[in-house]
A = this chain, B = another copy of it.
């Protein structure tokens, strides 16, 4: 279940009170904690709940933080009839969801995502996890939040980079859904300044993702369409972060989607007009990535070893016959990937 709240957030209090739990614990991070009374009101029910506050940032999405959250639940005296409310970005909802899903073998939880990326992507699908042994989301469970509240106010606190990082995942849902939807999202210049359009876009993305996830909750097949843009995107992200270049996940995926559109044209014969429309949108909102042809071998190596790539000799992409007609598991030989990377850089 999901509720979209624009301007007024009393519904959160009402829902939590009527949930009839003995105790409710909020999990949040050091950045979001001070915003909670601002957004919900100092005297609101949610702002006065006991909190477990974790340090913000992906580096803290680990077992030590998870243990500290379990300890916090223990101190608060949470029982398995109680509830957890995760308020934060993807680190908080992933880690807090995993902590709740495992504490006393499972406590109900609610997510209130505070970033566009988390609202549009991490808050749907029931994936919870922490990083372990140097690997992202290495341990976790599939567990659905009982409720997700999307509160527009949090999105006005985001930097331009954070905003567009989330918007890339929304555009991705556009490509998966259809041409009309894609065009409408790409035409939203300065969407960041219009909270109502932002909420419409988030609603579109979560509803689209929910449909895909319903069909394949544990990622056995069709859910792979959500990986559109991520094969090259993850490679860009790993390469640049390895060099200390700051790049958001969404920015890397935004660039990865251009590679995927080019490959869709080469391999599936998709019409090329979308490549040009999207390239303009990408340049305007995500700039250029510092990638040269010397980087190609490393990028191909990263794509071959992506955890979602099952083969050793070919790279499997999600490609589009057209917007709205995605196809999963399309094998592409590395030579064709190089050709696509050349075209990508030319654009």
**CB neighbours of A135 from chain B (8 A):** 74
| Nearest CB of chain B from residue A61's CB, rounded to whole Å | 14
Please tell me if A63 contacts chain B, counting CB pairs below 8 Å: yes
Please tell me if A218 contacts chain B, counting CB pairs below 8 Å: yes
Whether B67 pairs with A104 at a CB distance below 8 angstroms is: no
Residue of B nearest to A80 (CB): B219
Q: How far is A135 from B75 in the complex, measured between Cα atoms in Å?
A: 12
Residue of B nearest to A81 (CB): B310
* Contacts A/B (CB < 8 Å), 29 sampled: A63-B67, A67-B132, A70-B132, A70-B133, A70-B138, A74-B132, A74-B133, A74-B138, A101-B141, A102-B102, A102-B139, A102-B140, A102-B141, A103-B138, A103-B139, A104-B138, A104-B139, A105-B127, A105-B128, A105-B129, A105-B137, A105-B139, A105-B140, A105-B141, A105-B142, A106-B141, A106-B142, A106-B218, A141-B141
Chain A residues 104 to 124 lying within 8 A of chain B, measured CB to CB, are: 104-106
Residue of B nearest to A132 (CB): B70
**CB neighbours of A67 from chain B (8 A):** 63, 132
**CB neighbours of A74 from chain B (8 A):** 132-133, 135, 138
User: Which residue of A104, A105, A127, A132 has the most chain B CB atoms within 10 A of its CB atom?
Assistant: A105
Please tell me if A146 contacts chain B, counting CB pairs below 8 Å: no
Please tell me if A71 contacts chain B, counting CB pairs below 8 Å: yes
Interface size of A by Cβ–Cβ distance < 8 Å? 24
CB-contact partner of A71 in B70, B103, B104, B133, under 8 A? B133
Q: How far is A290 from B138 in the complex, measured between Cα atoms in Å?
A: 48
Q: How far is A285 from B155 in the complex, measured between Cα atoms in Å?
A: 67
| Nearest CB of chain B from residue A79's CB, rounded to whole Å | 8
Chain A residues 124 to 181 lying within 8 A of chain B, measured CB to CB, are: 127-129, 132-133, 135, 137-142
Residue of B nearest to A139 (CB): B102
| Nearest CB of chain B from residue A139's CB, rounded to whole Å | 5
| Nearest CB of chain B from residue A174's CB, rounded to whole Å | 27
| Nearest CB of chain B from residue A83's CB, rounded to whole Å | 16
Q: How far is A105 from B106 in the complex, measured between Cα atoms in Å?
A: 15
**CB neighbours of A132 from chain B (8 A):** 67, 70, 74
**CB neighbours of A106 from chain B (8 A):** 141-142, 218
Q: How far is A138 from B104 in the complex, measured between Cα atoms in Å?
A: 5
Residue of B nearest to A129 (CB): B105
Residue of B nearest to A142 (CB): B105
Q: How far is A139 from B138 in the complex, measured between Cα atoms in Å?
A: 18
**CB neighbours of A137 from chain B (8 A):** 105
Q: How far is A211 from B105 in the complex, measured between Cα atoms in Å?
A: 21
